[in-house]
């Protein structure tokens, strides 16, 4: 495994572990409320995270070369509790890490627009999990701030699609850069 791939595995494991711990602390909250500045509820946001990481896992494991694999999205049953959603996030995070470990260096897979390598897929998954965990915690009145080195690793990926690099360049630290570059409000000092 290349150094970049190894860093991607370490990064996704760290991010998912942090997200699961943080989200577990709020499972008793009202997950029907809006998740921060996104349009979804907290429940829908975690459901989306699970689907994203699952989809990235399949794209990479399937070595998709011509766009997305011909599958529908993965969604939790409507009766799933917040705790079950958090458990599912941990499970897909572990599965994604296992696929990253097992995939030979140099392998790429399509995201429908470009070919992404192992570190790019890891950065995409980290991006989704970090930002949406923040959204959920914000919606439930909590706080979430991942370590600066994880934020810097995410920002370093040239393959992130929904990020304003100019806004990121003017931020005070990597976490603020990630928030404002993704269109979220600057955190309060």
Residue 90, number of CB atoms within 10 A of its CB: 18
Q: Give CA–CA dist 89/111, Å, rounded.
A: 21
Residue 2 has pLDDT above 80, yes or no: no
- C-alpha neighbours within 13 Å on the C-beta side of residue 114: 8
From CA 94, how far away is CA 68, in angstroms rounded? 21
The angle subtended at Cα 132 by Cα 130 and Cα 137, nearest 5°, is: 95
pLDDT digits (tens, 9 = 90+) for 9-65: 888 999 999 999 999 999 999 999 999 999 999 999 999 999 999 999 999 999 999
Which sequence spans correspond to the domains of the chain? 3-68+75-146
CATH of segment(s) 3-68+75-146: 1.20.120.450
Q: Which residue has the higher pLDDT, 159 or 178?
A: 178
Give pTM, 2 decimals. 0.93
Interhelix angle 118-139/82-102, nearest 10 degrees: 170
Give me the pLDDT at residue 162, please.
77
Intra-chain end-to-end CA distance of the chain, in Å: 40
């Amino acid at each position: 495994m290349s150094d970049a791939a190894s860093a991607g595995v370490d990064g996704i494991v760290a991010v998912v572990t942090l997200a699961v711990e943080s989200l577990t602390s709020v499972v008793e909250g009202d997950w029907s409320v809006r998740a921060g500045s996104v349009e979804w509820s907290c429940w829908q946001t975690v459901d989306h995270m699970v689907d994203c990481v699952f989809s990235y896992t399949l794209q990479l494991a399937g070595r998709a070369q011509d766009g997305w694999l011909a599958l529908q999205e993965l969604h939790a049953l409507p009766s799933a509790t917040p705790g079950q959603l958090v458990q599912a996030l941990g499970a897909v995070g572990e599965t994604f890490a296992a696929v990253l470990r097992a995939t030979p260096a140099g392998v790429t897979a399509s995201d429908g627009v470009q070919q992404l390598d192992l570190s790019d897929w890891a950065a995409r998954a980290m991006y989704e999990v970090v930002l949406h965990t923040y959204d959920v915690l914000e919606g439930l009145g909590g706080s979430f701030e991942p370590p600066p080195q994880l934020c810097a690793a995410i920002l370093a990926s040239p393959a992130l699609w929904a990020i304003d690099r100019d806004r990121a360049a003017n931020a005070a630290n990597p976490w603020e850069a990630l928030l404002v570059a993704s269109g979220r409000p600057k955190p309060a000092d």
